[in-house]
Amino acid sequence: MNTSGTVIDLDELLALRSAARDLRLRAVRRVYGGQSGGFLSPLRGRGLMYEETRVYQAGDDTRHIDWRVTARTERPHTKLYREERERPVWFVLDQSAYMHFGTRVAFKTVVAARLAAVLAWSARVQGDRVGAVVFNDQHLAWMTPLGGDRGVVHCLRMFAQARTQMPSNGLEDALQRTAHAARPGSLIYVMSDFNQWDAAQARSAQRLAKHCDVVLVRIFDPLEMTPPPAGLYGLSDGERTMLWDTRAATLAARYSAEFAARGQTLNKFCHRQRIAYVEQGTHLSINQALAVIATAHGALT
């Protein structure tokens, strides 16, 4: 039985290492985009670690003033930081029932895993650590960022077969878990179709974006964007069956409008919160999404 495109294949994810060889994701101060799939995100780059406190000197960043020491000594003091050598990169992967769907090339789950694999290998090339949060409709599994090949391999194994660690209510729980575990300055890729996007998930994403760089990648199938030609179609989820009538022009127009509206809602939210936003169809080459992400990181291609 050929499962290519419907099941996440670990060997395939491991082989994508070569695809990440020429991809360089460098943090930039700010990147602007004026269309759907564009960016408005001041990617913060690698995290900073506290090193010491000393007397304030002309030219020091006033945002780093240590007010407790200043009050105690009655002399201005500032905190000094050093750049972390490694940047934690997290992948939040949605494997809920809605993601196990696809009419072109591959299921949304498979496309998300392939894209995440290339980005994980790219992080490895740059010496960064990778971690993951993988969730479905009922459970969630996660691993803290690890460095080297070992970290990427563990991450890819989670994509292919995550072992249940705790109950989950979906994307909101996954974002909350990531916000709790991720260090400030981490880079977070969230890959989902966001079909259940609501106010609670938005609040969780907003909280995460306060201290981390966040990239939302919306995975969609062409059939979700535009209904099939006018006709009567039988549908089944394996348990239930129904008929889908696409002969009414008004229903078809509303169907397409709802898909576009969800994308606009996400795009507007991301621009307000300084979160990067990318749309990736199951029928499109992963290289197209990588090119947009690379541009956002100021990569030279």
In a domain, 177, yes or no: yes
pLDDT tens digit sequence for 162-208: 776 788 889 999 999 999 999 888 999 999 999 999 999 999 999 99
Domain that holds residue 69: 48-83
In a domain, 163, yes or no: yes
Question: Measuring CA to CA, how many Å separate 280 from each of 3, 115, 200?
Answer: 21, 10, 24
Shared domain check, 106 and 94: yes
Task: Specify the DSSP element, H or E, that contains 80.
Answer: strand 77-83
Q: Tokens in use for 144? A: 């803290």
In a domain, 3, yes or no: no
- Cα diameter, the chain: 79
Shared domain check, 140 and 71: no
Shared domain check, 18 and 34: yes
Q: Which CATH number covers residue 246?
A: 3.40.50.410
In a domain, 5, yes or no: no
Shared domain check, 163 and 72: no
Residue 28 pLDDT level (bands cut at 50, 70, 90): very low
For 214, the 3-state DSSP assignment is: strand
Domain C-terminal end among 83, 107, 141: 83
What pLDDT shows up at residue 61? 81
DSSP letter (8 states) at residue 279: E
Please state the pTM of the whole predicted model. Answer: 0.79
pLDDT tens digit sequence for 52-94: 888 988 878 888 899 999 999 999 999 887 655 578 999 999 9
Shared domain check, 70 and 189: no
Shared domain check, 225 and 97: yes
Shared domain check, 232 and 144: yes
Q: Which residue has the tokens 């991809």?
A: 23
Shared domain check, 144 and 54: no
How far is 143 from 162, CA to CA, in rounded Å?
10
pLDDT tens digit sequence for 104-160: 889 999 999 999 999 999 999 888 999 999 999 999 999 999 999 999 999 999 999
Shared domain check, 185 and 153: yes
How far is 103 from 215, CA to CA, in rounded Å?
25
Is the CB of residue 217 less than 8 Å from the CB of residue 171?
no
Shared domain check, 68 and 185: no
In a domain, 14, yes or no: yes
In a domain, 219, yes or no: yes
What is the residue-averaged pLDDT of the chain?
Answer: 85
What pLDDT shows up at residue 204? 96
Q: Is residue 273 over pLDDT 60?
A: yes
Number of domains in the chain: 2
Domain C-terminal end among 83, 104, 132: 83
In a domain, 198, yes or no: yes
In a domain, 199, yes or no: yes
Mean per-residue pLDDT for 247-274?
A: 91
Shared domain check, 243 and 275: yes
What pLDDT shows up at residue 288? 85
Shared domain check, 164 and 255: yes
Domain C-terminal end among 83, 107, 139: 83
